[in-house]
Amino acid sequence: MEHGSSKLLLQALGQRIRELRAEQGYSQESFADKCGVHRTFMGTVERGESNLSFQNIAKVASTLGVSLSTLFQDLEEKAKTPAAPSAEKTAGKAGKRTPATKADA
């Protein structure tokens, strides 16, 4: 498997975890606590930036109350079609300002 497709699979898995977490009403922080991981790590997982160990994948599935097969359902198909940026992400970026540096002054 080439690097690009493995990255897309990680992103699809992260999106799947986020969707299932949100459906069950967990905040990212409370879900991370239940899984026994730090909230910032869970953020990197949901963005597809971290490669989860099998133990952590099993914890996530167990915490969500789903089987591993349910967690992985249709990931290969979703990885072929990258998701559009969420409205939350694009709205957040529009309001962000970069800090001024000495060179800007």
Domain encompassing residue 60:
1-74
Q: Is residue 62 part of a domain?
A: yes
State how many domains the chain has.
1
Q: Is residue 89 part of a domain?
A: no
pLDDT at 27: 96
pLDDT level of residue 101 (50, 70, 90 thresholds): very low
pLDDT tens digits, 26-54: 999 999 999 999 999 999 999 999 999 99
pLDDT level of residue 3 (50, 70, 90 thresholds): low
Going by C-alpha positions, the residue among 48, 51, 60 that lies closest to residue 14 is 48
Going by C-alpha positions, the residue among 49, 52, 48, 46 that lies closest to residue 68 is 52
CATH of the domain at 66: 1.10.260.40
Q: Is residue 88 part of a domain?
A: no
pLDDT at 86: 46
pLDDT level of residue 89 (50, 70, 90 thresholds): very low
What are the angstrom distances between the C-alpha of 67 and each of 26, 80, 97? 18, 23, 42
Q: Is the pTM of this model over 0.75?
A: no
Query: Residue 25, exposed/middle/buried by CB under 10 A (0-12, 13-18, 19+)?
Result: exposed
Tokens describing residue 49: 């930036």
